[in-house]
Amino acid sequence: MESLTINNVWMMICTALVFFMHLGFAFLEIGLTRQKNTLNILFKNIFIITIGLLLYCLVGFNLMYPGEFNGYLGFAGFGLDAPLTTSETLDLAYNGGYTYWTDFLFQGMFAATAATIVSGAVAERIKIGPFMIFTLFYVGLVYPIAGSWKWGGGFLDQLGFYDFAGSTLVHSVGGWAALVAVCLLGPRIGKFKNGKSQAIPGHNIPIATAGVLILWLGWFGFNGGSVLSADPELTSLTLVTTCLAAAAGGVSSAIISTIAYKNLDLTMFLNGILGGLVGITAGADVMSPTDSIIIGIVSGALIVFAVSFIDKLKLDDPVGAIAVHLICGIWGTLAVGLLGFKAATNDGGEFINSNGDVVATISEAANQLAFLPQLYGVLAYALICLLSSFIIIFILKKTVGIRVSELEELEGLDAHEHGMDAYPDFRLNDH
């Protein structure tokens, strides 16, 4: 019972850290966009976390963890109903590492993240009503159904697909939807002139920087909590690989962007850190420190090239969400099949768990974490996310419309959608 208490407390701390990440997302988004849209972005972020938790309680948790099901779609019923027995087995009846209630809250914090990723990509020109409707369907239905394919014991889990904390299940799920939304929404006014991308500076880079540092801190809970216990060896390794990948991603992105553009771009540095964090998330528990640095370096490079490529496609992503969450999410997932399990093998080439027990030979472990299952997983999530997000957003576009008017966009969504300013004493002309 003592170990259960320790594990449960650790999981609750991690839950709080993941919750704190939503402040980081909010700071990053408002910092990289213009002052006149600050309230609009904050409203969306608050809506996502509040409605996300309610939806996850009512339907999402039991869609994502339906118990015995066909591997594709299952539902354990509405609401929360802990599988409790006697007081002696109250908690252990559910999971030896933590309680049912802690599991719900921890997973619920993850659920809202997918829509938050989309929020940043569509900032400054989407109608708030249609975005809220999209959030209801995507967080309430699409995310948990897709999550059940792996974390709920579905068909991808049976195929050997591996995603420790959500490079694909969380980040690319949001990234694919962001890509669809940006394509259907179109760029902001003034973003592209004469076929060339124009910079639209954010209004508060210090706030954006604070947001990234908060997100990095929150990732201690995001990845550390995904160990699902307070196991000292595995949690420590996970936090080390997470931090090394973040650092390597930032440095890589800063160096490459400086060489390419001849200036020290802080926003590239920041997104490189986030790219490294997203990249390591799929395999933070099975990577060696060296491999985590490699994952971070590649992630940082991908950020620079992906941002440039997205601009060439004339897609407008104000915060770099597609590059960070989609591109680096795919890379991190595939990297598990290329580099995974090295940190968890002994000198004899055997895969060992945190207790030192031999689980499989290295050849068997390689079969479990081969490249093809990772590729299958990436493609499966691409399919469900592209189709579902396109259907939801396209229907909204053809019915109620998804884009604000030109006047509303020029004058700011804060004034037109909310009737107030974020900084009433410091109103600037940032059209």
Q: Euclidean distance between the first and final Cα of the chain, in Å?
A: 60
Q: Is 372 contained in some domain? A: yes
| Tokens matching residue 414 | 């804060």
pLDDT in tens, 176-203: 999 999 999 999 999 999 889 999 999 9
Q: Is 429 contained in some domain? A: no
**Residues, the chain:** 431
Q: Is 342 contained in some domain? A: yes
Pairing of strands 350-352, 192-193: unpaired
Q: Is 218 contained in some domain? A: yes
Q: How far apart are CA 227 and CA 281, in angstroms?
A: 12
Q: Is 322 contained in some domain? A: yes
Q: Kindly list the distances between the CA atom of residue 106 and the CA atoms of 5, 18, 63, 187, in Å, as whole numbers in the listed order.
A: 16, 8, 16, 35
pLDDT bin (cut points 50, 70, 90) of residue 166 is very high
The pLDDT assigned to 341 comes to 60
Backbone φ, ψ for residue 79 (5° rounding): 75, -175
CATH number at residue 220: 1.10.3430.10
What does the radius of gyration of the chain's CA atoms come to, in whole angstroms? 21
The pLDDT assigned to 379 comes to 98
Candidates 277, 275, 257; CA nearest to 266 is 257
Q: Kindly list the distances between the CA atom of residue 289 and the CA atoms of 166, 227, 353, in Å, as whole numbers in the listed order.
A: 19, 17, 17
Q: Is 334 contained in some domain? A: yes
Number of structural domains (the chain) is 1
Is residue 55 a contact partner of residue 136, using CB atoms and an 8 Å limit? yes
Q: Is 352 contained in some domain? A: yes
| Tokens matching residue 202 | 């954010």
For residue 363, pLDDT over 70 is answered with: no
Average pLDDT, the chain: 90
The pLDDT assigned to 84 comes to 54
- Give Dmax (Cα) for the chain: 71
pLDDT in tens, 18-65: 999 999 999 999 999 999 999 999 999 999 999 999 999 999 999 999
Q: How far apart are CA 188 and CA 179, in angstroms?
A: 15
For residue 93, pLDDT over 50 is answered with: no
| Mean pLDDT, range 325-340, rounded to an integer | 94
Backbone φ, ψ for residue 192 (5° rounding): -125, 125
Burial of 91 (0-12, 13-18, 19+ CB in 10 A): buried
For residue 365, pLDDT over 60 is answered with: no
Q: Is 427 contained in some domain? A: no
| Mean pLDDT, range 390-415, rounded to an integer | 96
Q: Domain range spanning residue 266? A: 2-418
